[in-house]
Amino acid sequence: MRDEDWLESHVQHLLSKCGRRLAVDIGANFGTWSNFLKPLFDRVIAVEPDDRCPEITGTEFYRMVIGKTSGVCTLWLSQEPQQNHLGETHPLHGTGGQPLKITQQTFDRLCAGRVPDFVKIDVEGAEDSILAGITNSAAYLKTSFLIESHAKESELVAILSRWGREYIKIPHPAPCPDHCWIAVPALT
C-alpha cells in the first residue's frame, strides 16, 4: 500500500466483508496494490495502461483503460506514471501531458461474467466513469470497493446512492480537500 499505511484499518475492514477468489486492481501502476492482493486472493486482475509500468507477474494483466464505454480513448501521460489522467489536465494539479490513444473497456467486459470480491480503483479523476460503465450493479453486491477520489466525490456518492450502497469517506491526510478514498463494503 506504498505510503498509504493510514488506509490499512479500512482495507482490513473491507477484506473482512468479502470473499477471497478474485481481486481487481484498476490503475495498477507499478503493482504495489496488486502485489499486496496476490497472496490474499486466488486470482488478481491488474489493469495499467502506461507501458512505462511493467506488467505485474502473477496477475491477469491488461494494458488498457476501464471506462463508461468500450472503444478507444485518449490517456494523457504525465511525467510521473502515477499522475496519468483522461482529461487534458489532471483534476487536482492541473498538469497536462502527452496524449496516447488506447483501448478502453467497460468494467463488465473486463470481468466477463466473473464477480470480483474486491476492487481497488485509482485512476486520477475517472473513477465515476468506471462505475457508470457498470450495467448491473446488483451483480456486485458482494464486492467490496476501495476508490481513490480525485475531485469526484459527489459523482461517486450519487452513483453509490443509486446502487443503494453504503460507503465510508476516508479523508486523505495530505492537505487537499478534493482528495479522499471511498470504501464500499460488500453486503453480506
120 Cβ contact list (under 8 Å, min separation 6): 23, 24, 25, 26, 27, 33, 37, 145, 146, 147
Distance CA(102)–CA(137), nearest Å, equals 26
* Cell 486520477 found at: 124
pLDDT at residue 78, as a whole number: 83
pLDDT tens for each residue of 116-126: 999 999 998 89
175, three cell numbers:
492537505
Distance, CA of 54 to chain centre? 18
Distance CA(183)–CA(170), nearest Å, equals 7
Architecture of domain 5-62+114-184: 3-Layer(aba) Sandwich (3.40)
Pick 40 or 174 by higher pLDDT. Answer: 40
Edge-to-edge, what's the strand order for the sheet holding 43-47?
Answer: 60-62, 43-47, 22-26, 118-121, 144-150, 179-184, 168-171
- pLDDT(1) > 80: no
- pLDDT(2) > 80: no
- Distance between start and end Cα atoms, the chain: 25
pLDDT at residue 10, as a whole number: 94
18, three cell numbers:
468479502
DSSP state, residue 147: E
* Cell 497472496 found at: 39
- pLDDT(184) > 90: yes
